[in-house]
Structure 1
């Protein structure tokens, strides 16, 4: 397949589809680090023009092969010819135009999702402006359910993230209550454990279960330990609501996480067999992030955004309740500054939604990045306009265990109030019943709320 484009009297040639996709990607430090980025804006523009002229069928016929890669095999197995048919005659450029057309509905976009490969979706995102990514994602409604309903258009949910550097029971409970009193936690109350020891995993689940049941909260909780730890806890009948795992876009990168597709199959069966949720509930939770494969030297010459989109093929296999990209968490080696983080967050959300995933975003950055909370304000507002399913919130926007900056509980209040995006309906009803968000109701102090809880022994 000849891949070339004439621009300004110069003919630009691209050796392979991998090369074309990489050079068409908006600038980011990770691709520069990998040595696969465009030489500059002119070569990038030529690559984007060349990509726009490429038939979608070419991306179907030339799935980016990685020998023996389980993710590549899964992408091929998922592909649905019938769903692909309405767009099969389009180029990447005409596909972009169709996505943006006012006559193209969210229902039509949902119908073609399983007929798109991650490479097709990554390709079209590379020739879209930020406003294009927002406009198309805003059309798509991906709804999931457990105790709360996530993803309804016009709503925005939050993960309440009460991490603690030593997994202290009272420390976790105090942070969780802080979030709940600010209306955070309708997507999930989720703790990243400091260790992956099975007793600590079970104790954290028991702490979160005590909070949920004693306060009668219509939400779900999750200890974000390794999938194998979750399976072991389920075998002991621990109160596990959601099974979590970080995933990436190549099997070699997933090997770095210590995870295989058969492990995820086992976890899916285990959590659905535990009997804690109504039939048909979504019970898996996945996190991704641009740069994960490159940092594991498992990118196989692909650009980090295409690899990120391939990770969504893994996630959608298991009908998750939640998926989120931790967009700025890996560091400036992969997304150098606020501009690159904002662009990546909008790309990830768009690509995940178009592939049928209930996408959320951890709007975040590390302290050595060239980014700040004003960049996060811009990304939060843009994603809320794009219909993001949920965002992650922590006390004061400063995660004291993972040592990075995210959103605060107050940031979520701001976006809900300003853009009129209420929480999940079940959670909103619970908030009203408890006076949360009502300026005329005197809520208990954190100390009082903590004292009223009966927590499991440390």
Structure 2
């Protein structure tokens, strides 16, 4: 069914829901590269106004990717909760925006299973940045493994001690640096330089020895492929969390070498280990706008809607952590700081509204038209929006992945400026170890951690 809206004496026609969503998206380079972006500001405004008038019920009747062709579409549609949707079933997309801005926080959680990712993506497209922040900060998602992540007033940090050769002493040195700066309550998570099982086993063992030696109430993860994690578990490795990059179409996930069934198998294997002490949220997912276009698996759908569909995959599990690596794929998809800032806030809003513990890797590649000032802006905006966690990278410069992110000091800034604290169990550990309060730069080196170096 075509959608029409007249503006400036011109009637703009959008052939289907997929086209309408794409044309309504605030401009980004990836959609232009895919040939789905609006060709003018006038066309974009016409699409946004037509989208605002569209009933939410329409999303239950028209799929952007056919049900019979895509298992992510089948997952989204088959898991939709009609009873949870009922309170907003009478609204248009524009009416839903107004409803969200006026809603009290306690009414948002019961709504989650009644929303499809496409509904959430649609409403984000007609929101200003202030709207995205205002609604996201009302969405509270709490998860648990060895500590409690996502409580009001907290900001967690993933300690990311990557090393270009997976040298254990190098990883340990960065881990010590992060711990002394109050990072690590989300996870101590290493991206291995290679997906070699022996390398992965060495990293897993070392990180677990550090955690147990100092009784750190956190979790570790080596961000290897899910099949490598399964092999590590078969060999008795201390696997806390299973990591996997995921996308919003069947084709994207196949390009990552995974299926929905494989994700479920890995979750079941991790749950069987029963390594969590406060909870058993064992999955860690990463996403990013543009992966579908890279895999030639976007089906003509805009990259932000595909990203929201990836959150539909994530919420089928019980993830401890989900994050958008927002600027990592490069300027072909998000060209500059303005596009990265908008995308990061959209991703956080969509994930939180769908019930996910959303973090954001506030980042850019060295060939993007962005700099650390842009990242400071996004970091502060996300902190106000209630982001669950951010990245802590030594010097904000990942020497293995070769991109720019946020540093341990940036995390301390955000906590101090916004009155945030680490996860409560981790904050108590920092005090117990003599490191100091997690929202301030430590005054002295903890004697208890000297031996780690």
Match of 2:190 in 1: 191
CA distance in 2, matches of 1:442, 1:351: 40
Q: Is the 8 A contact 2:178 2:394 kept in 1?
A: yes
After superposition, give the CA deviation of every residue in 1:172-214 in whole Å (9 maximum; x if it has no partner): 1101110000000000000000111111111111111011111
CA distance in 2, matches of 1:113, 1:404: 34
CA distance in 2, matches of 1:340, 1:181: 33
CA distance in 1, matches of 2:150, 2:442: 30
CA distance in 2, matches of 1:293, 1:207: 35
Check 1:427–1:259 CA distance in 2 against 1; reply closer, same or farther (3 A cut). same
Q: Is the 8 A contact 1:214 1:453 kept in 2?
A: no
| Greater alpha carbon shift after TM alignment, 270-279 vs 34-43 | 270-279
CA distance in 1, matches of 2:182, 2:157: 9
Match of 2:44 in 1: 44
1:280 Cα offset (Å): 4.3
The 4+ residue runs of structure 1 with deviation greater than 3 A are 437-441
- Matched residue of 1:321: which SS? strand
| Greater alpha carbon shift after TM alignment, 61-70 vs 50-59 | 61-70
Match of 1:434 in 2: 433
Q: Is the 8 A contact 2:274 2:280 kept in 1?
A: no
Q: Is the 8 A contact 2:433 2:446 kept in 1?
A: no
Q: Is the 8 A contact 1:288 1:311 kept in 2?
A: yes
Match of 1:98 in 2: 99
Match of 2:15 in 1: 15
Q: Is the 8 A contact 1:327 1:344 kept in 2?
A: yes
Q: Is the 8 A contact 1:144 1:358 kept in 2?
A: yes
1:148 Cα offset (Å): 1.1
CA distance in 2, matches of 1:279, 1:366: 37
Asked if 1:224 is matched to 2:223, the reply is: yes
Match of 1:174 in 2: 173
| Greater alpha carbon shift after TM alignment, 427-436 vs 286-295 | 427-436
1:415 Cα offset (Å): 0.7
CA distance in 2, matches of 1:157, 1:71: 30
After superposition, give the CA deviation of every residue in 1:297-327 in whole Å (9 maximum; x if it has no partner): 1100000000000000110111100000000
Match of 2:131 in 1: 132
Q: Which runs of 5+ in 2 are unaligned?
A: none
CA distance in 2, matches of 1:81, 1:53: 21
| Greater alpha carbon shift after TM alignment, 213-222 vs 324-333 | 213-222
CA distance in 2, matches of 1:97, 1:385: 20
CA distance in 2, matches of 1:453, 1:128: 48
Q: Is the 8 A contact 1:251 1:260 kept in 2?
A: yes
- Matched residue of 1:139: which SS? coil
Match of 1:206 in 2: 205
1:276 Cα offset (Å): 1.2
1:433 Cα offset (Å): 1.2
- Matched residue of 1:336: which SS? coil
- The alignment yields a C-alpha RMSD, in angstroms, of 1.4
Match of 1:420 in 2: 419
Match of 2:396 in 1: 397
CA distance in 1, matches of 2:361, 2:65: 30
Match of 1:269 in 2: 268
CA distance in 2, matches of 1:148, 1:282: 11
Q: Which runs of 5+ in 1 are unaligned?
A: none
CA distance in 1, matches of 2:346, 2:452: 42
Match of 2:85 in 1: 84
Q: Is the 8 A contact 1:182 1:437 kept in 2?
A: no
1:444 Cα offset (Å): 4.9
After superposition, give the CA deviation of every residue in 1:392-430 in whole Å (9 maximum; x if it has no partner): 110000000000000000000001111111010001101
CA distance in 2, matches of 1:403, 1:325: 17
- Matched residue of 2:319: which SS? coil
- Matched residue of 1:322: which SS? strand
Match of 1:380 in 2: 379
Check 1:256–1:42 CA distance in 2 against 1; reply closer, same or farther (3 A cut). same
After superposition, give the CA deviation of every residue in 1:105-163 in whole Å (9 maximum; x if it has no partner): 22211111110000000000000000000000000100000111111111100000000
CA distance in 1, matches of 2:157, 2:232: 25
Aligned length in residues = 449
- Matched residue of 1:86: which SS? helix
1:9 Cα offset (Å): 1.1
1:293-442 to structure 2, matched below 5 A, reads 293-437=292-436, 441-442=443-444
- Matched residue of 1:5: which SS? strand
Match of 2:34 in 1: 34
CA distance in 1, matches of 2:277, 2:155: 23
| Greater alpha carbon shift after TM alignment, 298-307 vs 54-63 | 54-63
CA distance in 2, matches of 1:13, 1:87: 27
1:278 Cα offset (Å): 3.8
Query: How high is the TM-score relative to the length of structure 1?
Result: 0.96
Q: Is the 8 A contact 2:181 2:442 kept in 1?
A: no
Match of 1:254 in 2: 253
Q: Is the 8 A contact 1:222 1:240 kept in 2?
A: yes
Q: Is the 8 A contact 2:435 2:444 kept in 1?
A: no
1:70 Cα offset (Å): 1.1
